[in-house]
Amino acid sequence: MSHLTRALPSVAVLALVIAVWWLAVAASGSVIFPAPWQVVTGAVELIEDGSLWQHIGASLLRVGAGFLLAVLVGVPLGLWMGWVRPAYDTLNPIFQMLRPISPIAWIPIAILWFGVGDASPIYLIFISSVFPMVVQTTVGVHTIEQRYLRAAENFGVSRTTLFSQVVFPAVLPQIITGMRIGLGVAWLVVVAAEMIALRSGLGYLIIDSRNAGNRYDLVIAAMIIIGLIGLLLDFAMRFLEGFKLVRWRYAHQD
């Protein structure tokens, strides 16, 4: 089945949603909630004055910084916890206690510690995305079948070589999964943080458009753009899953 054929159902559903949306606005006679074409013209307005790219760039910059910090901390920590049993026994209860806390709940703490600025959302993104990476990476190490590790040890393979050439490649699929989950959560969190404590970004654009004369056409346009960017970010992470190195587990076959 071609990609175009597989995309047809999604396109049909999207067209149906837009049609229902337009009919609902027309039937209600609403002067506040925008019709689809008004949203399109609102998005064009943002593009023409250049503000849309500024807000998108600000949001992506914050997500990129917080997400990169989470990768640098979460992946090595997850590998360590999965590889060293005492580390897992010590740290896992703490992570399992902190992980269910909503990232939004950290907003007052972030503002208290870092003030109103870019540091607060970056911290929130780090907190929200580091936990999925740690958990998924740890699980990936634990799911490696012990007989493969014992066989390597019987052949005199050093622990360094075993870790770099067997454990890490085998855990890569779980690492990518954790990164994919973390990036999705990070994109949610940055929008929420920008609604509260910042004056730039797509989250701020939504609140500012609402307060500046009930510009709901811009509100809906920003929401759709957030969804589209989230879709592209998820696609990028799924693209990483297609690499042969990531799909490698215990044996590699061309």
**Considering only 77-91, 102-116, 179-193, 235-249, which range has the smallest mean pLDDT?**
235-249
**Considering only 46-55, 121-130, 156-165, 216-225, which range has the smallest mean pLDDT?**
156-165
DSSP category for residue 74: H
List the structure tokens of 26. 């027309």
Confirm if 129 and 182 have CB atoms less than 8 A apart. yes
> Can you give the pLDDT at residue 173?
84
- In single-letter form, the type of residue at position 197 comes to A
- Residue range 46-70: mean pLDDT, rounded: 92
List the structure tokens of 150. 């014992």
Confirm if 134 and 74 have CB atoms less than 8 A apart. yes
| pLDDT category of residue 2 using cuts at 50, 70 and 90 | low
Task: Indicate the domain borders of the chain.
Answer: 1-30, 31-247
- Residue range 85-91: mean pLDDT, rounded: 91
> Can you give the pLDDT at residue 252?
44
> Can you give the pLDDT at residue 143?
83
Q: Where are the strands (E) in 142-219, listed by range?
A: none
Contacts of 61 (CB under 8 A, 6+ apart): 118
Alpha helix stretches (DSSP H) within 36-118: 36-49, 51-83, 85-98, 107-114
> Can you give the pLDDT at residue 95?
87
pLDDT of residue 27 exceeding 90, the answer is no
CA 2 to chain CA mean position, Å = 28
**Considering only 73-87, 151-165, 217-231, which range has the smallest mean pLDDT?**
151-165
Cα separation, 46 vs 54, in Å, equals 10
> Can you give the pLDDT at residue 161?
74
- Residue range 43-65: mean pLDDT, rounded: 91
**Considering only 51-60, 95-104, 190-199, 203-212, which range has the smallest mean pLDDT?**
190-199
Whether this prediction's pTM lies above 0.75 is answered by yes
- In single-letter form, the type of residue at position 229 comes to I
pLDDT of residue 63 exceeding 90, the answer is yes
Q: What is the CATH number of domain 31-247?
A: 1.10.3720.10
The mean pLDDT value of the chain amounts to: 84
pLDDT per residue over 203-254, tens digit each? 889 988 888 777 889 999 999 999 999 999 988 888 877 666 665 554 444 4
List the structure tokens of 36. 């689809």
Count of C-beta atoms within a 10 Å radius of residue 223:
15
> Can you give the pLDDT at residue 246?
63
Cα separation, 48 vs 58, in Å, equals 18
